[in-house]
Structures are given as C-alpha cells and as structure tokens.
Amino acid sequence: MADVTLKNICKDYGKGNRAVTNVNIAIRNKEFVVLVGPSGCGKSTTLRMIAGLEEISEGELLIDGKVVNALPPKERDIAMVFQNYALYPHMSVHENIAFGLQIRKLPKDEIQARVHTAAKILGLEEFLQRKPKELSGGQRQRVALGRAIVRQPKVFLFDEPLSNLDAKLRVQMRTEISKLHKKLDATIVYVTHDQVEAMTMGDRIVVMNKGIVQQVAPPMELYRTPINKFVAGFIGSPAMNFLPGMFIRNDRLHFLSEKESLNFVVPPQDELRLMKYEGRKVWLGIRPEDIHISMHHAEKERVIVKTKIDLFEPMGNETFAHFTVEETQFTARISSQENFSLQADSPLSIDLSKTFYFDFVNEERL
C-alpha cells in the first residue's frame, strides 16, 4: 500500500471553467479517505486525476513520494471501482476477475490463486461460473471489487460504487467495503455524494464544494466542529437548521433573530468568545436533534420556540417534526420517548448549549 499526496491540484477545462481549485490532501498509508460533496463539486474529477483518467492542469500528485503527473493510469499501480460495475457481459465471474491479470500475463497458477482468494473474501465462490446477467446488483458490485482486489494495487479508488443499489443493499455493501479495508490494510480513496456513507466509512472525510476543499477531518470532528456553514449544513441528517439574526447587548449578550421572534441570552460558556461580534449579523445553527418537546419551560439554557408543527414524519424509533420560524423551514428530530405528546401545538425548545453561530457574510463558524 501507499500514501497519496495532492499538492495544489487544479483542473481547468478552459474558458473560465475551473472544476477543481488548489486541492491539498495528504492521504496516509492504509487510510480510508472519503471525498464528499454535492453534484458538481469536483470530487469525481479529483479522483479521476489521481487515477490518471483526467490530466492535472496545475499542481503535483505523489504516490509513495513519487510524482506521477505524467504517468499513464496503468503505471500508477492503482485499481478503480466504478459506479456502473463495468463488467464484461459475455465473460463469467471468474473470467471478469481474472481478465486484468491475464492482460498483464501473470502465470496461470498465480491468477487462479488470486481469483479464488478474492472470491473467498467476497463470498463469490459459488458464483464463479455465472455471467453478470445472472447476478444481483450487490453481487455484480462484489465482482467489480474482486477485479480490483486481485490486482493487489498500492491504492484503491472508488467512484460512487453504491449509487446504483437499493437502500438495503447500500447498507450491506457499506459494511462489506469497510470490512474489506480492514482485511486488506488498504489505502482507499472513496467518492460519494451521500454524507451517511462518508460518516460511516471514512477514517477522514474531505468535504468539497464548488471545486474547493472546505474541511478535512475525522467524521465526528466534522459533525462537532464544522469550519463553516456549508460543512455544518452538509454533515448531519436531517440537515442543520439556520436562522439569521444578530448579537445585541443589554446586561448580557443576546441573540435576536431577524424578525425578533427568537430572543435569548447566549450561554455563559459562549458569551466571552462571541462578545466581539456584538452588533454583527450572524447565522444561528441548530441541529434537529437539539430541538425537543418542551417539558420544563424554565429549564436553563433552553429557549421555547413559538410556532405550530406543520408536519410529522414518523420514522419508527424517532419522528421528524417540520415547523416554520420566520418563514424558514425547520426540522426537529424527536425521539420515540417524546412521541406520546406530539401535537400540532406541542411546545418545542432549543438546547442553547449546542447551538452554532456563523458569520453572515463569509459563513465561517464563529
């Protein structure tokens, strides 16, 4: 396995169309790194530059300390798993997995051994003589994985490999790929638009938007300390709620929403840090799980939201409650223990000890 380093990597398609701007990522040996972001953010383009399928416009790409910008894909010692499986329909599972090794003219005994080792790891032993059309989507994806494993590459690249699978299979394959990473001690770079995949699979996550890396951090660090409003809104499901307002000072520092329906004292642990932003317009950020059915109106570090619930979405062990604050749609994530009291006029309260604040202009976390 190997480490992968991207130094000021850019991709420019000309005529002012820059897809990726100054990407700097150091991927450690045996690390599982996930590139995540909305469609068109540059994550797949970045992966394809690592693979050698896209030319790098600026910057340096190093694999195991060696600059590989000019190397063709076959000389980079990487294996890529695509979204659409890319299996040969006329070949059996065995032939699909073995094909790349045959092209490289490895000895037949070694090819046979590698194919059967990969098939055993992936639970494909009984399917080796079947054609792709006889397999389910999950089985086809395992064949694509097997084809990558037998290569024994320095780096595995995954380009949204689970997006064609149904929800149940996606969960199953997430687990299998994570287990595979541990078995192989592999360096993996994985692209997805699904933040749940990113949170559950990656050692570190690279959040991208508009071709720019927003933050690189372990999953829970992204969740607890997002660097800006975009990361805060992208990581977490349902997404974080945002409301504009400003800090004002009476005897204490207060947050006052734009239309003055929400007014509360900033908790003491945040007040000193936020004092210098008095009079500035900011975004208040609240995660859905930090909004609760209010049982104790006088409880410290909580504020009551004066609104009516528009819609309940029962999810089994929890319910999503949708309501409006100053013409802004909010979502609360209510646990099953609180469900007995859900009504359209149920009082909701925000846990102020878990609020986030962002600059209104540059959207950086304060």
340 vs 191, higher pLDDT:
191
Residue 182 lies in a domain: yes
Residue 92 lies in a domain: yes
Is there a single domain that holds both residue 271 and residue 228? Answer: no
pLDDT for residue 302 is more than 90: no
Residue 144 exposed, middle or buried by CB count within 10 Å (0-12, 13-18, 19+): buried
Is there a single domain that holds both residue 106 and residue 58? Answer: yes
pLDDT for residue 297 is more than 70: no
Is there a single domain that holds both residue 194 and residue 286? Answer: no
Which CATH number does the domain housing residue 348 bear?
A: 2.40.50.140
Residue 365 lies in a domain: no
Is there a single domain that holds both residue 72 and residue 98? Answer: yes
Read off the pLDDT of residues 253-284 as tens digits, 9 standing for 90 and up: 999 999 998 999 999 999 999 999 999 999 99
pLDDT at site 300: 63
pLDDT for residue 296 is more than 80: no
Is there a single domain that holds both residue 227 and residue 247? Answer: no
pLDDT for residue 166 is more than 90: no
pLDDT at site 233: 96
Alpha-carbon dihedral angle through residues 187, 189, 190, 193, given to the nearest 10 degrees: 150
pLDDT at site 93: 94
Comparing CA positions, the residue from 151, 148, 170 lying closest to residue 161 is 170
Is there a single domain that holds both residue 266 and residue 189? Answer: no
Residue 88 lies in a domain: yes
Read off the pLDDT of residues 204-239 as tens digits, 9 standing for 90 and up: 999 999 999 999 999 999 999 999 999 999 999 899
Q: Which residue has the tokens 């909701």?
A: 348
pLDDT at site 338: 65
Is there a single domain that holds both residue 42 and residue 128? Answer: yes
321: number of Cβ within 10 Å: 24
Q: Which of 201, 234, 267 is the last residue of a domain?
A: 234
Q: What domain count does the chain have?
A: 2
Q: Is the peptide bond before 238 cis (omega within 30 degrees of 0)?
A: yes
Residue 366 lies in a domain: no
pLDDT for residue 335 is more than 90: no
pLDDT for residue 340 is more than 60: no
Residue 34 CA to its chain's centroid (Å): 7
Residue 343 lies in a domain: yes
pLDDT at site 1: 72
Sign of CA dihedral 8, 11, 14, 16: negative
Alpha-carbon dihedral angle through residues 285, 288, 294, 297, given to the nearest 10 degrees: -10
Q: Which of 234, 265, 294 is the last residue of a domain?
A: 234
Contact 90, 108 (CB under 8 A): no
Is there a single domain that holds both residue 230 and residue 255? Answer: no
Is there a single domain that holds both residue 161 and residue 226? Answer: yes
**Structural domain span for residue 188:** 4-234
Is there a single domain that holds both residue 80 and residue 100? Answer: yes
Residue 250 lies in a domain: yes
* pLDDT, average across residues 283-295: 89
Is there a single domain that holds both residue 217 and residue 295? Answer: no
Query: What is the chain's mean pLDDT, rounded?
Result: 91
Q: Which of 219, 234, 249 is the last residue of a domain?
A: 234
Contact 109, 42 (CB under 8 A): no
3 state SS of 35: strand
Which CATH number does the domain housing residue 149 bear?
A: 3.40.50.300
Comparing CA positions, the residue from 50, 51, 52, 42 lying closest to residue 12 is 42
Pairing of strands 58-63, 318-325: unpaired
pLDDT at site 30: 95
* pLDDT, average across residues 285-294: 90
* pLDDT, average across residues 325-329: 91
Contact 62, 233 (CB under 8 A): no
Read off the pLDDT of residues 15-52 as tens digits, 9 standing for 90 and up: 878 999 999 999 999 999 999 999 999 999 999 999 99
Phi and psi, residue 142, nearest 5°: -65, -40
Contact 354, 347 (CB under 8 A): no
Comparing CA positions, the residue from 78, 120, 118, 74 lying closest to residue 96 is 118
3 state SS of 192: strand
351-361 as b/e: b if 16+ CB within 10 A: bbeebbbbbee
* pLDDT, average across residues 189-205: 94
DSSP conformation class of 132: G
Phi and psi, residue 99, nearest 5°: -55, -45
Is there a single domain that holds both residue 156 and residue 300? Answer: no
pLDDT at site 66: 94
- Rounded to the nearest 5 degrees, what angle is found at the Cα of 39, between the Cα atoms of 38 and 44? 105
Report d(CA 57, CA 80) in Å as an integer. Answer: 21
Q: Which two tokens stand for residue 315?
A: 């999810």
